[in-house]
Amino acid sequence: MDRLHPTAVRYIKLGPSGAWLPRCIEEGIIEFGHGAVPHEVAAEATRAELAQMFFEEGRTASKATDFAREIADFYELGSDCLWITIGEGRLWWCFAEPEVLPCAGEGRGARYRRVVDRWRDSDLNGQVLSLGSLSTRLTKVAAYRQTLCRVEAEDYLLRRINAVVDPAVARAQEAQAETIGSARALIEGLDWRDFEVLVDLIFGGSGWRRSSGVGGSDQADSDLVLEQAVTGERAFVQVKSRASAATLKDYIDRFRSSPGFDRLFFVCHSPSGSLPPVDEPDVHVWLGDKLAEQAVHAGLLDWLIAKAR
């Protein structure tokens, strides 16, 4: 798809607590309430007339104006308006045909518009727009107590849907990549004893507790035996400055034949040749940038610098 350039953006709550969302997605529609105002009246009345109707029903002037704005927006905004809603842990978006049709049936809205194509829950690159990946600058709109409103973080929303990286984020990612590259070079220069200490520090900072000495003689096949205090898992860790594909296979076989272990971590900073990918959920291979990334995330860059001086 081409990048989106809507002339307007609106958030809409699809029913009480988003109860209409599954039906709207399935049927390709946007349902809208305010059933006290018939479709024929809403289609013809001005905003001032709608506000007066709500005011005469006992609403405050402010609330009457808000309700009138919601109805008028639903009827007046064209097919170039981007509609968003939040539900099922994701952000959904669509465009809609301009025609508004009456809606009948128990538990339904009073009117609806047909969606152009379909509701989508991913950006233009196919990445799902999960709430956990979105800024609260945007997701806070779901706390809006009424039905339909403008989106304050419109620029951010369009960047995320269009899969455009914010320039500040791009600069940060470049700096992060450079830091990881520098950490990798420092790791590759470590003496093997310091390398084993580094690996121990990485695991210690992530909740694993060592139950064997670093490179001790109390374990024949592993350099570290670790326990996870929270989950009770035990890990078999092999630390190698250099290793071949045959070495990796050998230690996977040893892990499989060793009872009482839940995971294998094979850690190597300078593999001999290309090690094959391992598609086994309980086997973790840390090489090169992956290892450097773990060290940086554990806050060990200063430690690496001190060792290299």
pLDDT digits (tens, 9 = 90+) for 259-296: 889 999 999 998 988 888 899 999 999 999 999 999 99
Check whether residue 177 and residue 135 sit in a common domain: no
The model's pLDDT over 170-207, given as tens digits with 9 standing for 90+, comes to 899 999 999 999 999 999 999 988 999 999 999 988 88
**SS3 state at 161:** helix
Check whether residue 103 and residue 230 sit in a common domain: no
Integer Cα distance of 10 and 26 in angstroms? 21
Neighbouring-strand partners of residue 285 = 266
Check whether residue 130 and residue 191 sit in a common domain: no
Single residue among 105, 138, 161 that ends a domain in this structure: 161
Instruction: Give the closest residue to 298 by CA, choosing from 215, 190, 216, 187.
Output: 187
In the structure encoding, which two tokens stand for residue 48, read together?
Answer: 């001032």
Check whether residue 96 and residue 172 sit in a common domain: no
Check whether residue 13 and residue 156 sit in a common domain: yes
From the number of C-beta atoms within 10 Å of its C-beta (0-12, 13-18, 19+), residue 168 rates as exposed
Single residue among 110, 141, 161 that ends a domain in this structure: 161
Res 220 pLDDT > 70: no
pLDDT band at 213 (very low <50, low <70, confident <90, very high): low
285 within domain boundaries: yes
271 within domain boundaries: yes
Higher pLDDT, 137 or 229: 137
3 within domain boundaries: no
Instruction: Give the closest residue to 298 by CA, choosing from 282, 286, 309, 283.
Output: 286
Check whether residue 290 and residue 272 sit in a common domain: yes
b/e for 28-58, b at 16 or more Cβ within 10 A?
Answer: ebbbbbbeebebeebeebeeeebbebbbeee
Integer Cα distance of 288 and 135 in angstroms? 31
How many domains, in total, are found in the chain? 2
Other Cβ atoms less than 10 A from the Cβ of 148: the count is: 23
Domain of 91 in residue numbering reads as: 8-161
Instruction: Give the closest residue to 239 by CA, choosing from 289, 186, 282, 202.
Output: 202
Contacts 24+ apart (CB under 8 A), 134-141: 134/91, 134/160, 138/91, 139/86, 139/91, 141/11, 141/84, 141/86
Whole-model pTM: value is 0.71
Single residue among 130, 161, 192 that ends a domain in this structure: 161
2 within domain boundaries: no
Check whether residue 173 and residue 299 sit in a common domain: yes
pLDDT band at 222 (very low <50, low <70, confident <90, very high): low
Check whether residue 76 and residue 188 sit in a common domain: no
254 within domain boundaries: yes
Nearest 5°: phi and psi at 98? Answer: -70, -25
In the structure encoding, which two tokens stand for residue 23, read together?
Answer: 């039906």
299 within domain boundaries: yes
Check whether residue 152 and residue 244 sit in a common domain: no
